């Protein structure tokens, strides 16, 4: 009796690609805070960016507005000869929004201090200097605006107590604003990008990137494939079946439980064989060792065994009525955005471009920065921090 040989089909899935799928999913839904945190922890960026663009992008994402403006200046001249009016407008506009956000919190706290409703001191000179920076940025914006109406709309933001009172900025946050700023500038830099592709110093990334909501499309196709596998199995055994599509979180329980068992077994193996220090080292690497249970390839194999005549069988065409139910997102506390703007990121990957970005942004002076942060952390006004204050 001959035994049929089981052939294997090799498939390699790169975790970096999975991260890029998630990054695209988050960006498509304006979940910029989560997206940028994931970029930092994984060191992955979903985009065809060369080193020049990556560095410029990171300057924007970390709020180094003046550095980003300076970085563009050489592009005015040959061989690029780029019109910088629109990119400068976008950079200055988003810098202006962040300065307004900082002005709002210092003014609010200064008013409360005058009324005796808070114990945090905000130096009046700091507030005045903050207002001066807002006005100075607005003056720089005026020649970059395409129309006077555009400039008037920006000046009207000065009359608002809080930035989120304006309907255009109701859901604004610093991370989302910075990401949108780069995405608006990036197409304007195409002459520079095309030139850098042909230069020896700047090569465009050859890695593939997630586009077109690829993660969601893959998930939907995966659900349909699971439904086809179940349908074929039932037809083969019971001669009758109905096509049923399961929910996103409801799949093959046997596969799920076996995968979880293997994951837990993998973690336990490293835990029992190493001391506490080695456990920490291996716990970082266990994620790279995790292999899910591979799905059955019987359906694929069966399809390949069919004769060509079977694929000419007439059938009725169907369309999938796909509806994506958006997540019910909570409103985020906007009074924390000044701290978000001024605080340094708590995660720094030791890879380019993060290693080449300046340590702190220069959007406001150190004394103003300390005043704003002390509103949310009163401990900063204790004597132990007095040497940090610039008088």
What pLDDT score was predicted for residue 199? Answer: 55
Domain range summary for the chain, segments of one domain joined by +: 47-207+333-388, 253-294
Mean per-residue pLDDT, 278-285:
47
Length of the chain: 391
Sequence-ordered alpha helix ranges (H) in 73-209: 85-114, 124-141, 148-156, 174-185, 190-197
Question: What pLDDT does residue 131 have?
Answer: 85
> What is residue 175's predicted lDDT score, i.e. its pLDDT?
98
Q: Can you read off the two tokens belonging to residue 335?
A: 């009074």
Distance of CA 21 to the CA centre of its chain: 11
Q: What is the pLDDT of residues 307-326, one digit of tens each?
A: 999 999 999 998 999 999 99
The confidence score (pLDDT) of residue 107 equals 57
The pTM of the whole model exceeds 0.85: no
Position 268 scores a pLDDT of 63
201 DSSP assignment: S
pLDDT per position as a tens digit, 363-391: 655 444 544 555 445 444 443 333 433 33
Q: Which residues contact 294 (CB under 8 A, 6 or more apart)?
A: 11
Per-residue pLDDT band for 118 (boundaries 50, 70, 90) equals very low
Q: How far apart are CA 184 and CA 257, in angstroms?
A: 45
What pLDDT is recorded for position 274?
52
pLDDT of residue 42: 97
Q: Examine the pLDDT at 153 and tell me if it is beyond 90.
A: yes
Do residues 337 and 101 touch, judged by C-beta distance below 8 A? yes
Query: Percentage of the chain with pLDDT > 90?
Result: 52
Check residues 105 and 333 and name the one with the higher pLDDT. Answer: 333
Single out the residue of 193, 182, 209, 208 nearest to residue 52, CA to CA. Answer: 193
**How much of the chain exceeds pLDDT 70, in percent?**
75
Cα angle at 329 between 323 and 331, to 5 degrees? 150
pLDDT attached to residue 380: 40
CB 23 within 8 A of CB 210: yes
CB within 8 Å of 17: residues ≥ 6 apart: 208, 210
Burial of 172 (0-12, 13-18, 19+ CB in 10 A): buried
Cis preceding-peptide flag for 79 (omega within 30 of 0):
yes
Cα dist from 323 to 187, 217, 220, 279, whole Å: 31, 12, 11, 44
Measured distance CA(28)–CA(149) in Å, rounded: 30
Judged by average pLDDT, the poorest of 106-110, 216-220, 355-359 is 106-110
Contact 246, 227 (CB under 8 A): yes
Q: How far is the C-alpha of 384 from the C-alpha of 24, rounded, in Å?
A: 44
């Amino acid at each position: 009796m001959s035994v049929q040989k089981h052939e294997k089909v090799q498939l390699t899935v790169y975790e970096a690609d999975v991260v890029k799928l998630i990054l695209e999913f988050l960006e498509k839904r304006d979940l910029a805070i989560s997206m940028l945190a994931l970029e930092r922890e994984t060191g992955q960026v979903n985009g065809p960016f060369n080193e020049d663009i990556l560095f410029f992008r990171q300057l924007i994402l970390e709020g180094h507005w003046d550095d980003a403006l300076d970085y563009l200046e050489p592009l005015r001249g040959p061989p690029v000869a780029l019109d910088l009016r629109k990119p400068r407008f976008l950079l200055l506009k988003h810098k202006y929004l962040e300065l307004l956000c900082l002005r709002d919190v210092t003014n609010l706290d200064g008013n409360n201090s005058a009324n005796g409703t808070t114990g945090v001191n905000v130096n009046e000179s700091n507030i005045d200097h903050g207002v001066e920076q807002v006005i100075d940025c607005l003056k720089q914006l005026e020649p970059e605006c395409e129309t006077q109406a555009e400039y008037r709309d920006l000046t009207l933001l000065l009359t608002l107590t809080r930035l989120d009172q304006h309907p255009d900025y109701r859901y604004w946050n610093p991370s989302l604003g910075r990401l949108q700023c780069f995405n608006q500038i990036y197409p304007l830099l195409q002459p520079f990008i095309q030139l850098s592709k042909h230069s020896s110093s700047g090569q465009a990334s050859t890695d593939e990137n997630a586009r077109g909501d690829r993660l969601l499309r893959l998930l939907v196709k995966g659900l349909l494939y699971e439904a086809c596998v179940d349908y074929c199995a039932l037809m083969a055994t019971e001669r009758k079946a109905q096509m049923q599509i399961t929910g996103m979180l409801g799949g093959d329980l046997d596969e799920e439980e076996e995968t979880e068992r293997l994951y837990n077994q993998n973690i336990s193996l490293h835990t029992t064989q190493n001391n506490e220090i080695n456990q920490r080292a291996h716990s970082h690497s266990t994620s790279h060792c995790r292999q899910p249970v591979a799905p059955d390839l019987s359906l694929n194999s069966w399809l390949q065994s069919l004769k060509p005549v079977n694929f000419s069988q007439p059938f009725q065409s169907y369309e999938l009525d796909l509806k994506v139910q958006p997540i019910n997102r909570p409103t985020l506390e906007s009074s924390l955005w000044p701290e978000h703007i001024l605080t340094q990121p708590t995660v720094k990957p030791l890879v380019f471009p993060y290693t080449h970005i300046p340590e702190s942004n220069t959007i406001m002076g150190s004394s103003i920065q300390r005043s704003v942060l002390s509103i949310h952390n009163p401990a900063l006004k204790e004597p132990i921090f007095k040497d940090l204050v610039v008088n």
